[in-house]
Structure formats: C-alpha cells, structure tokens
Structure 1
C-alpha cells in the first residue's frame, strides 16, 4: 500500500469513528443509555454494525469515549472563542464554565457518564480522554501551576465532584453555588469566563 493510500484509509477510519461518537452523543441524549443499542448507533452513523465492535469493545467504552470527545470539543471551543486570550485566569474560568455547562446542555448524557464511571467499569482511557486531559493540563499550566500533572488531577477531581453534585437526582446543588466555590478555590472573579445569567454567586 502506498503512503498516500495509507493516509486516505486512516482518514476514512477517523471519520467513521467520529460519526459513531457523534451518533452516540445524540442517541443517548435523546433516549438514555439503556434504550440505545449499538445497532441504533451504527444506523444513526450510517455504519455497519460490525464497525462499532471494531473500534470499541462494548457500549460503555463507546459512550465514555463519546462523552470525552464532547467534553474536549466543548472545552476547546470555550478556550479559543473570541476574544482569544492567553490569560491563565480567564482560561481557567472558561474551562470550569465549559464543563459545568454540560450538565445543563447534555443532562441525560452527563448523568449516565458519571454513573458509568462510578460502576465496575471505572474510568476508561481512550484517545478522546487523552486529548481532554491535555487541554486541562495546559489550562493549569497557563494558570501558573508549578506541578501541572498533580494540579490537573486535582482540577479533574474537583470538576467531577461538581458535576455529580449538579446532577444528583432529587437534591442537585445550584450551579451558581458550585461555580462560586470553584472560583474561590482558584481565586477567580465571578465575572470571568461565562457567568450564568440566571444565578448569582452564593453569599459567603
């Protein structure tokens, strides 16, 4: 196989995988995890059923990869939106707002994602998760961290905890309160990032 043919095939595989991940986000968001089958996802993506198994060992890994892709795309868009900034504090605020915002824009998907992580399958490593991790570690580096790897893991843990609290059935925390706590933790002013229009910071 020529280098050009190999490159074309690689691009086709990448696009097929992307279509499957996007279809997963759409269907699980519409129907929920249990009501979405791998066959449904393949049909929505316009792919053969066997292609799903080729890329992913099961539905749970597929869904986790799809959510990590969504989180990476959302975070990337937030960090690079106009006006583009290199200010570490603004980028940290944008990162927090991007992740917390997914609990509103993709509530069903994010609730299912967190439930899956807390079950036996645990946290699944995948290319999408690695790209998300790179962006978050770059964020803490620009913020001024002297221990980026450690501080990335701490930021990830804080964001996961906040997402769980926002999605807790029957007793969710207000987004404004959790945002205020995280912003105080990182010394950020409420006006940074994208403040929620319908909530004010919790009084301290």
Structure 2
C-alpha cells in the first residue's frame, strides 16, 4: 500500500480541525463553556483527545477560533441567498442581521465568546484564518457599497457589531434587539424594511 500523499494528509487534518471546531460550538451552545471539556469535544468530533490539544493550545483559543468559523459560515450562507442584482444596502442589512442574529438565536454561545475576549488575562482578539475569512466577507459587502477603504470600514463595522451584541447580551441590562437593530440601520443609512429580520 502506498503512503498517503501530502494533499491527502492535509485534507484529513483540515477535516479533523473542522470537526473539532463544530463540536466545540455545539457543546458550548448546549452546556456552556465551563461544563464543556476537551474530552467532550474530542468525543463529539470523533477524534483522539490529544489531537484537540495538538491543533488548539487551549480551550479559550479553540472556542474563539470555532466561533469565528461559525460566524463566517453562517454569514456566508446568508449572503449566498443574494444576487449581484440585489442592492448593496440589502447585502449590508443581511450581514448586520445575520451577525447580530447569533446573539438572539444563540445567546449563551455569543455571550461566552464575547466574555472570553474581554476577560482580564485573556489573549484578546485573535486574528486567525477563520477570523480573516469573516473579515473578508464583511469587507466584500462594504466594497459593494462603495467603500474606498474596506479594511478600515470593516474595523468600524466589526466594532459596531460587537457592541450591538454586547448591548443585547449584557446581563441585567439587556437592550431590546429591535432598538439595537434600529440604531445600526440608522447609523449606516439602511431602510429597516431590508434584511432577513425586517419582518420579525
């Protein structure tokens, strides 16, 4: 039997990493961060426990990377429902509704993600490949609206989206999602009738 080629090995590594990240998102959403162990993640992903630590040096980093993947996959799926004939404002409205929608639909998951980023002693905001994929999607949306400097405008949009999610999830001081949405749409000059959450 001939040994596997480099391309096959790389594909297997990629699939293992993806299964680990997907399992992490599922388990934290179901049970919370503290009650989810690396052993649980390995079992759900169908990989050896040591492989989780090999790819991800800690549970905090793993969740942040997994969340970035979850966000760009969710956003990518939403944007694929649009066409080049759709107005640029609809693309941005869809992006805003999709990202903030995670705070509405999966509050424990998004609250945990934000808390770990902001916690004292945390590694801060990790700019990994998964985060760059999310950033690329948002920058492409901004370029559709004519952004001259999509990278800078993306940093502002990212901050606005994170702030919006924090506003909706702040324990004991949660702001209504509709008010947060109206504020973001006003800030970007968007018609509130646009976007997947317009009718909700």
When normalised by structure 1's length, the TM-score is 0.91
**Residues 144 and 126 of structure 1: CA distance in aligned 2, closer, same or farther (over 3 Å):** same
What do you get for the CA RMSD once the two structures are aligned?
Answer: 1.5
Contact 2:82 2:91 in 1 (8 A): no
Q: Give 2:176's aligned residue.
A: 174
Q: Deviations over 1:93-135 (max 9, x none)?
A: 0000000100122111100000011022211121111100111
Q: Give 1:147's aligned residue.
A: 149
Stretch moving more, 188-197 or 12-21: 188-197
* 2:5 counterpart SS class: helix
Q: Give 1:16's aligned residue.
A: 16
**Is 2:67 aligned against 1:67?**
yes
Stretch moving more, 77-86 or 89-98: 77-86
Q: Deviations over 1:138-179 (max 9, x none)?
A: 111111111111100000000000000011111211111111
After TM superposition, the runs of 4+ consecutive aligned structure 1 residues lying more than 4 A away are 82-86
Which of 155, 162, 165 is the matching residue for 2:164? 162
**Is 2:187 aligned against 1:185?**
yes
**Residues 85 and 21 of structure 1: CA distance in aligned 2, closer, same or farther (over 3 Å):** farther
Q: Give 2:136's aligned residue.
A: 134
How far apart, CA to CA, are the structure 2 residues paired with 1:14 and 1:70?
A: 15
**Residues 85 and 121 of structure 1: CA distance in aligned 2, closer, same or farther (over 3 Å):** farther
How far apart, CA to CA, are the structure 1 residues paired with 2:58 and 2:155?
A: 27
Q: Give 1:41's aligned residue.
A: 41
Q: Deviations over 1:74-94 (max 9, x none)?
A: 110111115665532110000
Question: Which sections of structure 2, spanning at least 5 residues, go unmatched?
Answer: none
Contact 2:93 2:185 in 1 (8 A): yes
How far apart, CA to CA, are the structure 2 residues paired with 1:163 and 1:23?
A: 23
How far apart, CA to CA, are the structure 1 residues paired with 2:85 and 2:55?
A: 36
* 1:144 counterpart SS class: coil
Question: Which sections of structure 1, spanning at least 5 residues, go unmatched?
Answer: 199-204
When normalised by structure 2's length, the TM-score is 0.93
How far apart, CA to CA, are the structure 2 residues paired with 1:195 and 1:26?
A: 24
